[in-house]
Amino acid sequence: MRFSSAPLEGRLVRRYQRFFTEVELAAGERLIAHCANTGSLIGCLAPGSRVWLRDSGNLARKLRFTWQAIRVGRAWINVDTSLPNRVVAEAVAAGLVPELAGYARLRREVPYGRGSRIDLLLEDERRGTCHVEVKCTTYREGSTALFPDAVTERGTRHLGELARLARAGKRAVQFFFVSRADVELFRPADAIDPEYGRALRRAAAAGVEVLAYATRVEARRLELLRPLAVELAKTRGPAFRTKPSRAVGSTD
């Protein structure tokens, strides 16, 4: 995904009331930007951190700017949850996700299950359908990415829908968009939401495929970078662990 203009850079003052981010610009001016991320953003809220803001260009919008990314250590991390579905859709359509390649059509936000909408529906006369649910995370411990960073009943419900599809013989995929590049492994955050961890393991046992990709976060682009190993066992071992495939190139 390419952005038409460079972001506005500033320093984080605070994130408050969930949807608001106060940022100080280089000249000392402070502005309030929209925060699309409803998670806890563990490790991504240190005051004084460098941040990027994206300008909507809409002067009539209540909050013209959206908080897009934050610098933590040496890594830029995408915090804008409105972007991952589009990035994944573009990469799949371009054939850059080998696990999801070979389908004739891709549709987004398609109703299915019990009042849910699937993020991506891949369709092909020969291969059938593939339902792909995308979840994004900024949370990291060491070199391991984790999801979720807060209790997510909605996420658990989505896993139940995917599991029902898999048990019915349909292909279902839980795709984790890890919004940073400084990680090597993905696993569920059992300490934060143990029920989600249990639901993810049940879904995998039912046949739901679990994929995780690190991402490249730059001022003018956001794209999938490489697949990550997925570890679903609570202790390290061979159970439900998958090996990553080749790295992903540019979506140009």
CA distance 113 to 172: 12
Give all domains of the chain, ordered by start, each with its CATH number: 8-78 (2.40.50.580), 84-230 (3.40.1350.60)
Both structure tokens of 227? 């697949």
- Give the other-Cβ count within 10 Å of 246's Cβ: 9
Residues 6+ apart with CB under 8 A from 94: 251
- pLDDT (tens digit per residue) in 63-94: 999 999 999 999 999 999 999 999 999 999 99
Residues of the chain above pLDDT 70, percent: 93
Mean pLDDT of the chain: 92
Q: E-assigned strands of the chain? A: 8-16, 20-25, 30-34, 50-55, 65-72, 75-78, 105-112, 116-124, 128-137, 140-141, 144-147, 171-178, 185-188, 209-217, 222-227, 229-230
CA distance 88 to 121: 12
Reported as type and span, the H/E element at residue 165 is: helix 153-167
Please check whether residue 118 is in contact with residue 130, taking contact to mean a CB–CB distance below 8 angstroms: no
- pLDDT (tens digit per residue) in 123-161: 999 999 999 999 999 999 999 999 999 999 999 999 999
CA distance 17 to 191: 24
Query: pTM, whole model, 2 decimals?
Result: 0.91
- Give the other-Cβ count within 10 Å of 202's Cβ: 14
What strands, in cross-sheet order, belong to the sheet with 229-230? Answer: 140-141, 144-147, 185-188, 229-230
